[in-house]
Amino acid sequence: MSQAREEQTSLLHQLSSEVTPEADPALRFILNNIKTISLSLGAVVLLAGGAAAYSWNSAATLKKQQAELGMIVATKSGVEKLQALDTFASGVSGKLQTAVNLEIARTGLELKQYDRAAAAYNAVIAHGEGPVFMARFGLAQALLQQDKAAEATDILMALAAEAPESFTVSVNRMLAEAAFEAGRYDQALAAFETLQGVVAADEKGYIAFRVQSLKQHMQSGS
């Protein structure tokens, strides 16, 4: 076994001994995507003949990087985790870069470093592959926390028009608050009224109160 494969195997064993894939959705995302990449590269090895060594080395490198990222996600937190992710990000690309940026964004939100979170979400969006919808939603959240309610509202209005049913509540809840904060009361009201028909029974009273109070606010012109 080559040194690279030995290092890769050691990292994977270390990771599996400390955390299971079920322990963190982001870690499961990383594992699933790298498995797909590795299988694809394995097929190239069988077909490419003279390029086989290069393709195998690429797959081995990706697996090693996947294991390293998994260790960061599983064993670090806070500022230490963000610093480790920043260092790690400079040496990866493709789907793994998307996974790194999602972790940077999530960690930035946790640390209230909203500008960092927004930049990382924008990088995922610019890449154009992977969970772009969730990155746009996260970007709206980061902007809202930076008192950029109007920008957040624009993003959320677009998301509301294309959101799958499972995201209707989450998107409209944030849209209602962002639009209200931005002074765009008609859009806030529409979002609250959408929520009235889809929230759980124990929330309906609160949403009805918000609808009524917002209508009164709009009628008074205050």
Task: Tell which wins on pLDDT, 61 or 199.
Answer: 199
pTM summary value: 0.71
Mean pLDDT check: name the lowest of 41-45, 139-143, 205-209.
41-45
Residues 6+ apart with CB under 8 A from 46: 52
175-218 confidence digits (pLDDT tens): 999 999 999 999 999 999 999 999 999 999 999 999 999 999 99
Please give the DSSP secondary-structure letter assigned to residue 221. Answer: T
CA angle 170, 69, 133 (to 5 degrees): 25
- Are 30 and 66 in contact by the 8 Å Cβ rule? The answer is yes
- Are 118 and 139 in contact by the 8 Å Cβ rule? The answer is yes
How much is the mean pLDDT over the chain?
80
